[in-house]
Chains A and B, each alone.
Chain A
Amino acid sequence: MYSEVFSTTIFGLDALVVHVEIDAGDGLPFFEMSGYLAAQVREAKERVRVSIKNSGYDLRPQRILVNISPADVKKAGTGFDLPIAVGILAANGYIHSDKLKDIVIVGELSLNGTVNAVSGVLSSVIAAKEKGYSICIVPVDNLYEAKLIRGISTYGVKNLKELICFLNNGIFPDTVNNVVEGQHSSVYAAFDDTYLDFRDIRGQMVAKRATLIAAAGMHNLLYIGAPGSGKTMFAKRISGILPELTYEEALQITKIYSIAGCLSRNSFIKKRPFRSPHHSITKTAFLGGGVVPKPGEITLASSGVLFLDELTEFPAYILESLRQPLEDKAIRLVRLSREYVYPSDFMLVAAMNPCRCGYYPDRKRCSCSEHDIARFLGRISQPIWDRFDMNIHFETIDFKDLSEEDTISKETMYTTEYMRDIVERVHAIQKRRFKESSIYFNSQMDVMDIKKYCILGTKEKQLLEKAYNTFHLTVRGYNKILKVARTIADIADSSEIQISHISEAISYRNSLGVM
């Protein structure tokens, strides 16, 4: 007997619906699989046979051939166990083949017949929906993830027997599927969206303001400061002041996390990602890689913040590999069979010490020679310095500031909520401004855009000219100042860039890298 079941295989960030064809015929007992299968899929053979047996179904000795088509696409992952098992049972008459026509099935089987979670369910459900299937069967542990997609019925199964029962009778013995069905919004709302608050940080007004500006214009940001001055605390809070994720964005991020296998049971990424890889990270883990590439840190940080703590400790080849993804907002991973394009649309935030001991220019504590400092800063190449639009120097906080109460009123101004309001407003302004161009934020403006949107008055031009000569700025540095000034003007709701905006932008320029 022949039967056909539909399943999916993960292909980059998307899934592809594939046909699982089973033929169970007479002959010597035999189990063969074909269709360009990875090792995990081949291993399904034994798992499927044993789990069918342990679920209480009797298979007579027979010749079983499984083919997964299209045969020119590499199939990987463990999600084929369940469709193969269902197909074999259908070929043996336990299920009517007609019932399988409109259903996509994914799931991994245990030897006792239990269905285990798989990665990439979100992409699978999306693919099933797009291809016009009306039902998608997923492991029960992935059900919340699957339920995020509207317009397709999704069911979670606990074990093989339950699934067969559903396919034959159309009902589940369990109630879990009925509870969440059709309640996408409540599922969405149920996930945690609390962020760390800037309210927790005392003092550091300058750094807070700079962080606000950087988030508003999506400018890449570099924190420089002594050890323990709060650089990491700041970075962790940045994703909280970025605008809330839209449903579509959240879906995209969840999809990425699902494929990377970073999604825990029943979770959904509603927070903007904050990724802070350790500096011992490999290039593959950083950019993404593998035969069928898995997303790397830069993709996992997409729509959020990629934070590189102790920037100077990162090996040069890791940092240099950031240059192209930062420009293109996507990384192209080229493999022999195909090219995979993953998003890398993150805000880069980095932190570093100003010298080896970390206290320069406080000569009471720092005894590094000028040569040592130059060498320390020299670990970061000029092109990487250039990627940072804004630099902020952190101050170590006195005990007085930690304990003093009267500064609190001023500090409470910079709460995450307050800052997010401003950032959202400025993002909206930028959306209007760049309606007709392919960019979204001030930080992405090129020379032509700068000419168009950063128009200066005579006084402002004079100031900038004077600063250009005094500080020996480069043309690139000059453009960066204009971009940041544009964002500052947007925060002040001013259509023209004024002197105060330029002054502030100048103070965030990089004055360390050109020592």
Chain B
Amino acid sequence: MEDDFYWFWLCNISGIGCMKIKAIIGSLNDAKTAYNASASVLYNIKGLHRGDVNRIIKSKDDVDIYNAFTKMCHTDIQFVHIKSDKYPSKLKELYDSPACLYVRGKLPSENRVSVAIIGARNCTEYGRSVAAMLGEHFAHMGIQVISGMAAGIDTAGHKGCLAGDGYTCAVLGCGVDICYPSQNIELFSNIIQNGGVISEYPPGTRPIPANFPVRNRIISGLADVVIVVEAKKKSGSLITVDLALEQNKEVMAVPGRIGDILSEGCNELIKQGAMVITNPEDIRFSSFVTKWIKNSEIDHSDLKYSEKNEYEKINVLASEKNMLYSLLGLCPISLEEIVRWSGLDIQRTIQILLELQLNGYIKEVGHNRYIRNSL
């Protein structure tokens, strides 16, 4: 506890980021030593300037840091510093590993495969369903899903994983006591309960845009495989991909049609050599995962995609239903078009669509626009 405070102090000095902390710890080994170190000792540390040393000395008298620490101790926020046993070993390998993490819920398990599902915020319904499907199946396969809880693909990935009772971890660009975006509050509390919410920023940090690209290195750092579901040509997700490649992780991309703006980024990645993922089981082809499975002592017999026989399921449907179902895809189709294509009258069409909807085969997105519920 006392140790935690010294770490908390070290991580909350303004102007001292993770690289400088790394330098301090590199030479002094411990936060407490750093706290008690004299100015002359600090001057000798490579990478610290005169200004930095002054700031460090001054911050020892900063009451705000102490108050913030006491306040944090009264919440459910756990403080994990880089020398702690709980600190994820995968992050230690990063060049700029965060000096500390603020955690609500559980940290990802070291013994299981972790996959990051990332993508555009303004995604299509197709992307949303794919992300949710992947998340859910990964949950069944015992794979942990890491993402950033942003709107769109991230949210869908988290939700899918939670729907499959799996572990999911959200890495935030703000304090772990702030839910951003705010409409995700339900998801936020679900993740805290059944997974983990992580941030390198102290509680109370506002979601400023500059934080988000920075936290991406933690997302890719925690994951073994990074899957891009939907991304435009210039997308924030591609930053994560670059980081993942720097960190020597596998990158997979969900292919899309030529001409779909939101698939251009993914297709570009595939062109550059990213693996294609069209089925959750494809994750096994990743050398990272295979290698890991071999070395692991845990039984991975559950690492199998239980393929629901979609075709069989649909064939049970009556012919009219079958016809309407087959008209639908993962791109939303309006009622008007369905009526026109099917040739059925409006009332009949609406009735069948409602039945399909209530039975969970299809769903309505937007108003009077329908897509299939599953791939």
Interface residues, chain A, with chain B CB atoms under 8 Å away = 203-207, 209, 224, 354, 360-364, 367-371, 374, 391-395, 401, 407, 463, 466-467, 470, 499-500, 503-504, 506-507, 510-512
Contacts and interface: CB of A to CB of B under 8 A. Distances in A.
A470 B354 CA distance: 11
Interface centre among B353, B355, B364, B367 (most CB of A within 10 A): B367
Given A203-B340, A363-B124, A503 B152 contact: no
Given A206-B346, A395-B334, A470-B358, A370 B368 contact: no
A360 B123 CA distance: 11
Given A363-B262, A393-B334, A369 B367 contact: no
A226 to B, nearest CB: 11
B336 A205 contact: yes
A504 B350 contact: yes
Contacts of B365: 361
Contact of B351 (A361, A499, A510): A499
A370 B152 contact: yes
Given A206-B368, A363-B122, A370 B335 contact: no
Contact of A367 (B122, B339, B355): B122
Given A361-B332, A511-B367, A503 B350 contact: yes
Contact of A371 (B125, B181, B337, B368): B181
Given A205-B346, A361-B125, A361-B365, 12 more contacts: A363-B122, A369-B122, A393-B335, A393-B368, A394-B336, A470-B358, A499-B351, A500-B350, A503-B354, A504-B346, A507-B335, A507-B353
Contacts of A370: 121-122, 151-152, 181, 183
Given A354-B367, A361-B125, A371-B181, A395 B337 contact: yes
Contacts of A361: 124-125, 332, 365-366, 369
A368 B121 CA distance: 10
Contacts of A504: 346-347, 350-351
A467 B358 contact: yes
B260 interface: yes
Given A361-B365, A369-B122, A503 B337 contact: no
B357 interface: yes
B122 to A, nearest CB: 5
Interface centre among B351, B353, B354 (most CB of A within 10 A): B354
A369 B358 CA distance: 28
A393 B354 contact: no
11 contacts: A206-B336, A367-B122, A370-B183, A391-B367, A407-B340, A466-B358, A500-B347, A503-B354, A504-B347, A507-B354, A512-B366
B261 interface: yes
Contacts, number: 97
Given A392-B368, A500-B348, A504-B350, A364 B261 contact: yes
Nearest to A204: B336
Contacts of A374: 183
Nearest to A506: B354
Contacts of B358: 463, 466-467, 470
B174 to A, nearest CB: 15
A503 B183 contact: no
Given A209-B346, A504-B347, A506-B354, A364 B367 contact: no
A478 B277 CA distance: 43
Given A224-B367, A369-B151, A511-B364, A467 B354 contact: yes
A507 B151 contact: no
Contacts of B260: 364
Q: 3 closest Cβ contacts across the A-B interface?
A: A503-B351, A395-B336, A361-B366
Contacts of B348: 500
A211 to B, nearest CB: 12
A360 B262 CA distance: 14
A206 B261 contact: no
A364 B264 CA distance: 12
Contact of B367 (A371, A393, A499): A393
B350 A207 contact: no
A206 B183 CA distance: 32
Nearest to B349: A206
Contacts of A362: 332
A368 B335 contact: no
B178 to A, nearest CB: 15
Nearest to A372: B122
Contacts of A224: 367
A369 B152 CA distance: 9
Contacts of B121: 369-370
B336 A203 contact: yes
Interface string B301-340: 0000000000000000000000000000000101111011
Interface centre among A371, A391, A407, A503 (most CB of B within 10 A): A503
Contact of A206 (B335, B351, B355, B366): B335
A393 B334 CA distance: 8
Interface centre among A205, A206, A209, A369 (most CB of B within 10 A): A206
Nearest to B337: A395
A470 B357 CA distance: 9
Contacts of A401: 340
B156 to A, nearest CB: 12
B7 to A, nearest CB: 36
Interface in B162-205: 181, 183
Contact of B366 (A207, A360, A392, A466): A360
